[in-house]
Structure 1
Amino acid sequence: MAKKDLTINAKDFHLDNIGTTFELLDLYPVFNTIESLDENGNQQFYKNGNVITKDGDEITGYMYAVKVLDGQFKRKTQTVKVNGIDPLMTIEKFYDSDDVKIKFKNLRNSYIGQNGALSYLADSVSLAEENKIKKYDEKVGK
Structure 2
Amino acid sequence: MAGPKKNKVAESETTEIDMPTISITGDFASQVGVVSGTSMTLFVGVGEVEGETNQVLVPLVSWGLAGGNDVVTSTSSSRLYSSVLTLENAAFVACDTADELRKVLTQLTIINTGGIKVEPARLQVIAGYLDGAKQAIELCQGSIQNLIASGSR
Does 1 or 2 have the higher relative contact order (CA < 8 Å, sep 6+)?
A: 1
Short-chain TM bin: under 0.3
Which structure's residues are more often helix, by fraction? Answer: 2
In terms of Rg, which structure is larger? 2
Q: TM-score, normalised by structure 2?
A: 0.25
